[in-house]
Amino acid sequence: MVDRLLKDDAIEEKGERARMASFIGAMAIADLVKTTLGPKGMDKILQSTGRGRSVTVTNDGATILKSLHIDNPAAKVLVDISKVQDDEVGDGTTSVVVLAGELLREAEKLVNMKIHPMTIIAGFRMAAECARNALLLKAMDNKEDSDKFRSDLMNIAMTTLSSKILSQDKEYFADLAVDAVLRLKGSTNLEAIQILKKPGGSLKDSFLDEGFILDKKIGLGQPKRIENAKILVANTAMDTDKVKIYGARVRVDSMAKVAEIESAEKQKMREKVQKIIGHGINCFINRQLIYNFPEELFADAGILAIEHADFEGIERLALVTGGDIASTFDNPKSVKLGHCKVIEEIMIGEDRLIHFSGVQMGQACTIVLRGASEHVLDEAERSLHDALCVLSQTVNDTRVLHGGGWPEMVMAKEVDELARKTPGKKSHAIEAFSRALQAIPTIIADNAGLDSADLISQLRAEHHKEQSTAGIDVISGGVGDMKELGISESFKVKQAVLLSATEAAEMILRVDEIVTCAPRRREDRM
């Protein structure tokens, strides 16, 4: 009668079957994003079946996985780690999934050899600790020497961008990204860097602009240029100078009464505008609509009024100009105004925008991306965002590693040596860990259509020499010197990849039963 424990439609899988299901799901996800790894990685097109059939073309592991609707519970764990990697350090979203998938692939072989999952986990733990220490010893730190540090940042940005759509102009965009991040002076708040996308032109036409650009036009009859602006940023209704027909019921005897009501409303509006003008401002930016009447009043007072600035724009503008977002105007003393040197109208492509330069917060800047189509721009923005995230993390934690599969080989070598010293069944798990680490350079080589088996064995031989800086040089198709090629990665990204992947693999390994609940039926709720 044990069968009746769960409701009719619930499914449970035990032991071998459950483990099989979770291993296979996780490996399938890893194989899906595997081909996007490395400088020669390919892109995926994601098409939604909803309204509008929106199409996304992307190379970013986290974006691909976020868009998938997945049924397999183990695969969901991998999607989660790639999301966290994206939020935490920005880059390495594909590597983390691939590494976790490889660890599970190795673990499956060990489980088939009748090694208990807990033994495997203990071995993986030791191996991960050993690999992390190997990285710590090899990491370089140039924060004392600002020129060297800047070139490190450039190399990291170029390495991050080389697997993305911007790889053709990577020097140009790396320069933009490094400039933008160095302006932040060490804060990891990327809010101050605004990315504007304007279709038209080519990617090369993108530029970095100090200050802030608001995607709005300047109203009619208002000053087109203001110097030493005092800005009031507000979120308030400025559209009550007419009686709204909808939902308002006013009973009157004659039209004259309606006119009285309207003039009372107008008077109210006029007083509100007077209060706002009383703050001694010359630029008023509102989140909501501004009707013609208050707009006229502002124009008469020589104040630039901008309506309907989008919400992110408002928050960022308040942050950048150093003002507060106000919604009541009775007490001018308590409102912090924003300041900037010049407000003027500029043209980008066909569109007019409002440019605020010389803002209070010197860190702020705007990167304007130009490109052939929306899809190209979206992908460029994602790539640039990855680069900015990695750079801002590196400015805080200045340790740098070589790239191109070098860190994985360094870790694999140390982990192998640990496996030889460790007695007992754990040593099998540690050895498996080292094989999983070598899978990353293998995949980078495979994606470039190179002979991976040959290359990896060459690399391993190179790494047994002292102080080797050898990695895979995808462009020439052989083993290259990463130091000379200037391929660098951030230590923080690599460490996050290593630890997240190990923990995720460990979590999936612990599973021995999957219970899928039956969906609730309508009748049961009564």
Q: Which of 56, 58, 60, 366 is catalytic?
A: 60
- Could you tell me which residues are beta bridge partners of residue 338? 231
Give 270's Cβ-side CA count (13 Å radius). Answer: 7
Question: What DSSP character marks residue 201?
Answer: S
Q: Let me know: does 365 contact 209? Beta carbons within 8 Å.
A: yes
Question: Are the beta carbons of 19 and 111 closer than 8 angstroms?
Answer: yes
Q: How far apart are CA 201 and CA 204, in angstroms?
A: 8
Q: What is the C-alpha to C-alpha distance for residues 307 and 298, in angstroms, rounded to an integer?
A: 12
Task: Write down the catalytic residue from 36, 58, 63, 93.
Answer: 93
Q: Which two tokens stand for residue 6?
A: 């769960």
Residue with tokens 């995949």: 443
CA-CA distance, 99 to 434, in Å (whole number)?
11
- 93 catalytic? Reply is yes
> Among residues 424, 417, 364, 350, which one has the least CA distance to residue 210?
364
Alpha-carbon distance 333 to 347, whole Å? Answer: 36
- Catalytic residue of the set 152, 386, 446, 473: 386
Catalytic, out of 56, 58, 63, 94: 94
Q: How many helices (H) and strands (E) does the chain have?
A: 17, 19
Cα 385 vs. chain centroid, distance in angstroms? 6
Give CA–CA dist 152/182, Å, rounded.
13
The residue written with tokens 């990849």 in the block is 497
Active site residue 56: no
User: For residues 100 and 505, is the Cβ–Cβ distance under 8 A?
Assistant: yes
Find the distance separating the first CA and the last CA of the chain, reported in whole Å. Answer: 28
Q: How many Cα atoms occupy the beta-carbon half-sphere of 220 within 13 Å?
A: 5
List 56's β-bridge partners, or say none: 46
Q: Is 43 within 8 Å of 94 (Cβ atoms)?
A: no
Does 60 participate in catalysis according to the annotation? Answer: yes
Angle between helices 426-447 and 406-421 (to 10 degrees): 160
Q: Which of 494, 526, 271 has the alpha carbon at shortest distance from 399? A: 494
Catalytic residues: 60, 93-94, 386
